[in-house]
Amino acid sequence: MFPLNIRTLAAAGALVLSVSVFAMGGRPKDNEEAVNSRIAPVARVELAAPSAGAAAGDRSGEQMYKTTCIACHEAGVANAPKFGDKAAWAPRLALGLDGLLKSAIAGKNAMPPRAGSDANDTELARAIVYMANKAGANFKEPAAK
């Protein structure tokens, strides 16, 4: 008598499965559309101009920070100085508002020009003043031009 146990049944099942796969001609053939639908991304990110809140040109430093700057400066992405981190901001504050504004307009390291936003010079300066003052500076916010 041939003893039946779990290993014997598993081996028999694997043998039947492999024989049936070869009988069908190997792996099942998928069409390209089915494959693409299975490997398609689950999400897509699109950046758009802000539609709520203040109009471009009228945004405060805090609004600019919360809509644009926070993406990198909250967590320190790509070595951006973290919001409120006095030690990280200290060498930058030594440049003064004009030096920081010049860097923000042109872009610095991983930060794109104008931080990738549609901000004008006044809005950029307001955002810099907001962040710098939270890190110990005493910059004055510029008036609207």
Residue 131 has pLDDT above 80, yes or no: yes
Structure tokens at 27: 């792996």
Tell me which architecture the domain covering 61-134 has in CATH: Orthogonal Bundle (1.10)
What is the residue extent of each domain of the chain?
61-134
Closest by Cα among 132, 57, 145 to 94 = 132
Task: Decide if 125 contacts 142 (C-beta within 8 A).
Answer: yes
Residue 101 has pLDDT above 90, yes or no: yes
Residue 53 has pLDDT above 60, yes or no: no
pLDDT, one tens digit per residue, over 74-99 is 999 999 999 999 999 999 999 999 99
**Whether this model's pTM surpasses 0.85:** no
Residue 39 has pLDDT above 60, yes or no: yes
Q: Quick one: average pLDDT of 32-61? A: 75
Tokens 């549609």, residue located = 118
Task: Decide if 145 contacts 122 (C-beta within 8 A).
Answer: yes
